[in-house]
Amino acid sequence: MEPSRQEFRDAMARLGAAVTIVTTDGPGGRVGITASAVCSVTDTPPTLLVCMNRNSSLNPAVQANGVLCINVLPGDAKDLSNVFAGFTGADQIGRFAEGSWTQLVTGAPVLEEAVAALDCEVEEMVEKGTHSVVFARVQAIRLGPQRPALIWFSRNYHPVGLPE
């Protein structure tokens, strides 16, 4: 028998994941959301996989813009994560009023405080259930200072890692 939606969600809550802000900019608008469904696909060529809800404001913007940036959040960025998760009620313009933003190659917003920022061009989008699975080729990387990163585990934020 197939597991219930709740069983699946409870199991996924036990899979710790980096907290990121995924951003895009271009003809489809400047949009950003908090996401933890991001992972490496291959290093040759450098490619990431990003899953986003098809009802998210990010989905049509990424489709139209063809670019995105994965901004890996530092351990003390819980408040910023909540802003981009939509928990504060800020609209897209208001979200970008928080933090300091710049650009690398694609024009997607890059968070200056990010532990790492991976600036990407979209290579492929696949629709699966409620989500779009995006394969994005990395065009540029900006590494921030070594410091703890933010993860999402057991439905809560946790800073993890220390500089050596």
Instruction: Give the number of domains in the chain.
Output: 1
Instruction: Give the three-state DSSP class for 50.
Output: strand
Q: How many CA atoms, within 13 angstroms, populate the side-chain half-sphere of residue 11?
A: 6
Each residue of 129-146: b (16+ CB within 10 Å) or e?
eebbebbbebbeebebee
- Does residue 94 register a pLDDT over 80? yes
Q: Is residue 22 part of a domain?
A: yes
13, 155 contact by CB (below 8 A): yes
* 28 falls within a domain: yes
Whether the pLDDT of residue 163 is over 70: the answer is no
Reported as a pLDDT band with limits 50, 70 and 90, residue 13 is confident
In a domain, residue 81? The reply is yes
Instruction: Give the pLDDT of residue 134.
Output: 97
Residue pair 147/156 in contact (Cβ under 8 Å)? The answer is no
Q: Which domain holds residue 79?
A: 15-154
Q: Summarize pLDDT for 40-89 with one digit per residue, the tens.
A: 999 999 999 999 999 999 999 999 999 999 999 999 999 999 999 999 98
- 98-154, pLDDT tens digit by residue? 999 999 999 999 999 999 999 999 999 999 999 999 999 999 999 998 899 999 999
Please report, for the domain that includes residue 144, its CATH number. Answer: 2.30.110.10
How far apart (Å, rounded) are the C-alpha atoms in residues 151 and 36?
A: 8
Residue 92 lies in a domain: yes
* Residue 10 placed within a domain: no
Please indicate, yes or no, if residue 129 is contained in any of the structural domains. Answer: yes
Q: Would 41 be classed as within a structural domain?
A: yes
Residue 26 lies in a domain: yes
